Structure 1
Amino acid sequence: MRILFLLLGVFLVCTSCAKSEDAFFNETSQKWLLVKMTGSIVYSETTGKDMAWQESLIFNTDGTFIKSRTIEGTEKEAFGTYVKKDNKDYSYLELEYTSGSELKASCGQSETLSIIGGNLLVGSWNICDGPRLEYKQSNK
């Protein structure tokens, strides 16, 4: 009986301390900032204020998102829903726009952001000659 309680205790401790990627996008709203753009031309990587635009993504716990993009002092916003999907090799977010689809960074119907190591989101726009966009979670 002691062994059963011991195993149950170890299981509870391990599961309560582990933070899965599923919980990562469901516990609290999160803000992610565009930190790097890479074009298809060699040495076309830009970061910070040197990027063509500044952008943020807010993922809410109810499965909605807000994207804000500022270009030359003009801000535009887009809204929609997102779903976290798991592939056998990686996890990603699929964004569906309900408004502001001109901000969609994709060549398809939805925008896809791969989750890399839990702290980096990478867009897939580069597969159709758009820039590769990388986002990191904001501490704000």
Structure 2
Amino acid sequence: MKKIIGLFIIIILVISCSNDDETEVITGFQGYYELVKMTGGFEGSETTGAKMEWQEIYVLKNTDSTFVKTRFTNDSTYNGNGTYTYKTIDNQKYIKFLFNENTDLIGNCTNDLTEVLMVLEDGDKLVSTWNACDGPGLEYQKIIEFCGTGLD
């Protein structure tokens, strides 16, 4: 378990220290991504669906590389937004979100305005890297892709 956590910390450091020359143009990832699973630091702590502590959606727009992140709790709705970039490091794809302002929605190990998610399954799944520093493991599934709707 410590080896996995160490690997995630190294990945976070590489991403946060990478220069912008490694940033690629991102296409095909626009759409809605819904939080589908949360995991904690101990075995058996996985929750899904309505049992999760909160519900969350990312909306990624392709035309201007902007995003909106919305979190729903029992009594409140929170929003954050900004821009995103796409990176490939050692054949692993990542999306780095840069929030316009500080918000509790940002899940990271660096206490800045960025959040990094690994891209899996050809862009249909995003996985947070926050669990590398004892944050929850968050998994998002693409639920809608923009296809000429004017939203991208």
Instruction: Identify whether the pair has TM-score above 0.5, normalized to the shorter chain.
Output: yes
| 1:75 is aligned to 2:77 | yes
Percent of residue pairs identical: 35
Match for residue 117 of structure 1?
121
Aligned to 1:33: 34
1:89 maps to 2:94: no
Q: 1:24 is matched by which residue type in structure 2?
A: G
- Please tell me whether the aligned partners of residues 72 and 78 of structure 2 are also in contact (alpha carbons under 8 angstroms): yes
Pairing partner for 1:104 from 103, 106, 111:
106
Kept after mapping to 2: 8 A contact 1:79/1:100 = no
1:117 shift after superposition: 1.5
Aligned to 2:143: 138
**Mind listing any 5+ residue stretches in structure 1 that lack a counterpart?**
1-20
Instruction: State the secondary structure of the residue aligned to 1:41.
Output: coil
Q: Secondary structure at the match of 2:53?
A: coil
Corresponding residue SS for 1:136: strand
Q: How far apart are 1:100 and its partner, in Å? A: 5.0
Which ranges of structure 2 fall in alignment gaps of 5 or more residues? Answer: 1-24, 146-152
Paired AA for residue 111 in structure 1? E
Q: Secondary structure at the match of 1:138?
A: strand
- Change in CA separation of 1:48 and 1:100 when aligned onto 2, cut-off 3 Å: farther
Alpha-carbon distance in structure 1 between the residues aligned to 2:59 and 2:105: 14
Contact map agreement 1:31 1:56 (CA 8 A) in 2: yes
Instruction: Find the structure with the greater CA-based Rg.
Output: 1
